[in-house]
Structure 1
Amino acid sequence: MNFKDYLKDATEKYGISLSDEQLDQFDKYYQLLVEWNEKINLTAITEPREVAIKHMVDSLSCWQADLFEAGIAVIDVGTGAGFPGIPLKIYRPDIKLILLDSLNKRIKFLQTVVDELGLENVKCIHARAEEAARNKALREKFDLVVSRAVARLPVLAEYCLPFVKTGGIFAALKGMKFAEEATDAKKALSVLGGSQPECVAIKLPYLEDKRAVIYIKKEKSTPKAYPRKAGTPDKNPL
């Protein structure tokens, strides 16, 4: 089986239906990922079946019909190789997407993917989250903020919640320690204007590991003091 076959099988088992055009876009994305991964470190996972399940389907695990209203503004903080932002954009082309990453090499890769796949309404921004969140054009401007495999939730919340508009949602895609992280983040979420976390367990096809998406609603504006300067959230979590 090739990558498209693995992806079609995995998405169908997960309950997601992709068009032939979307499968072609995902396939092109995969080819570019493997090609660029030889030049810059994008992912440790390159086998087609593993990428299909652990990157592509996992990225789509935060999709909910009532959350992804037509034309919503989404930012993927610390997007890395484009997960979960690009898979979400392929699946829901109408979203307005910003891919934010601190490494310019990755931004060049992401821009290539966007161009090659013909994705519209996508901006790739080179910046640290702590700095970008102080930009008036970005702060509290997004209906949905997504992030995957960036930092523990108490730290990640400080990076991400400042981007969420009041009433919007922050969705963190997490691994097996999601419940522990959610508990540890409660103080930070309260300080930053977020609701208590809602953990939705995820079961990916063919995998037995524990995963979840943690959803946090932005209940009030984030105080201007946050995020703190670069490096501080990680060294001294709230």
Structure 2
Amino acid sequence: MTAAAVEVFGDRLALAGRFAQLLATDGVVRGLIGPRETPRLWERHLVNCGVMAELFPIGASVVDVGSGAGLPGIVLAVARPDLDITLVEPLARRTAFLTEAVDELGLDNVTVVRGRAEEVIEQVAGADIVTARAVAALDRLAGWCLPLARVGGRLLALKGASADEEIGEHRAAIERIGGGEPQIRLCGVGLIDPPATVVEIVKEREVEVGRGRSGGSSRRSSGAAADGSVRGSAGNAAGRSRQSGGGGRYGQSGRAGGSGGRAAGEGRGGGRGNKRRG
């Protein structure tokens, strides 16, 4: 654990530690995290994902595509309990882990949906922010993710040193599918070295996309109704945590003036009503 982790997670550091333990045990056993990654879980995975939180406005609705082991989706849910996060993952063994982790951590601000991004558009479209971490080349990633965002919403993709090259190669394709000029945002400057590289793409217009079959939804609570209308036993405590803020350096408002940000509850896109928590 590093000083950066303390800064990112604040009073939810212990909760982040519980997630790190899940990754180091069940995550390794299930093949979601390589055993060689366990010594650097905090630096390479939790903190690297957590610093993204500075780009998120208060109360934003977030869809994390290709969530895998919950990176960055669960990490963001821990660091920012005010966010409303949907984890989209097509593989059953991964969605099982995600659902169990969300239940274990009592994350009332998270929904798990099984399916590919193109299959769950009707369920999750209209998000303020869509996130992804190293799941595909930028043009393909934008093609999957931008349809899930509202117009004016953003794709935030965690990328590496080749981000500039990818932008140059795929700029035209991104524009054709409704995306604006990609921008590179460095997160965690002065906190981690090197900073996390995030490619930001604003959705400027709707573009007609093919609709796949509807993906299946997996709720945190095993007693949830089919439409996700029932909350689990951790709901009250977690709900209070969301209302009061909490978290680390980004726990209240994210970075001041984050591009594309807006206040919570202001004209979010449709299509997510059956997944909101009541």
TM-score bracket for the superposition, by shorter chain length = 0.7 to 0.9
| 2:140 pairs with 1:155 | yes
Task: State how far apart, in whole Å, the 1-side matches of 2:59 and 2:118 are.
Answer: 26
| 2:18 pairs with 1:33 | no
In the alignment, what sits opposite 1:220? 205
Deviation beyond 3 Å, 4+ runs, structure 1 = 201-208
In the alignment, what sits opposite 1:183? 168
Task: State how far apart, in whole Å, the 2-side matches of 1:188 and 1:226 are.
Answer: 20
Task: State how far apart, in whole Å, the 2-side matches of 1:204 and 1:84 are.
Answer: 20
What is the aligned counterpart of 2:123 among 129, 137, 161? 137
Distance 1:206 1:144, change over 3 A: closer
In the alignment, what sits opposite 1:103? 91
In the alignment, what sits opposite 1:42? 32
In the alignment, what sits opposite 1:3? none
Matched letter for residue 99 of structure 1: L
Distance 1:38 1:55, change over 3 A: closer
Higher relative contact order at CA 8 Å, sep ≥6: structure 1 or structure 2? 2
Contact 1:101 1:127 in 2 (8 A): yes
| 2:5 pairs with 1:11 | yes
Task: State how far apart, in whole Å, the 2-side matches of 1:102 and 1:147 are.
Answer: 14
| 2:116 pairs with 1:125 | no
What is the aligned counterpart of 2:77 among 84, 89, 92? 89
Contact 1:75 1:100 in 2 (8 A): yes
Contact 1:161 1:222 in 2 (8 A): no
Contact 1:176 1:211 in 2 (8 A): no
| 2:42 pairs with 1:52 | yes
Deviations 1:34-72 (A, max 9, x none): 111343111225334x110110111123222xx422221
Task: State how far apart, in whole Å, the 2-side matches of 1:185 and 1:54 are.
Answer: 27
Distance 1:110 1:225, change over 3 A: closer
For the aligned residue pairs, the C-alpha RMSD in angstroms reads 2.1
Task: State how far apart, in whole Å, the 2-side matches of 1:206 and 1:28 are.
Answer: 22
**Secondary structure class of the residue paired with 2:21:** helix
Deviations 1:114-141 (A, max 9, x none): 11111113111110112123xx2323x1
Task: State how far apart, in whole Å, the 1-side matches of 2:59 and 2:76 are.
Answer: 13
TM-score normalised by structure 2 residue count: 0.70
Query: Which residues of structure 1 form unaligned runs of 5+?
Result: 1-5, 228-238
Q: How many residues align?
A: 210
Q: CA deviation at 1:17?
A: 4.3
What is the aligned counterpart of 1:114 among 97, 102, 123? 102
Matched letter for residue 187 of structure 1: A
Q: CA deviation at 1:225?
A: 4.1
Matched letter for residue 40 of structure 1: R
Contact 2:157 2:199 in 1 (8 A): yes
Contact 1:192 1:226 in 2 (8 A): no
**Secondary structure class of the residue paired with 1:46:** helix
Task: State how far apart, in whole Å, the 1-side matches of 2:190 and 2:30 are.
Answer: 28
Matched letter for residue 10 of structure 1: A
In the alignment, what sits opposite 2:267? none
In the alignment, what sits opposite 2:243? none
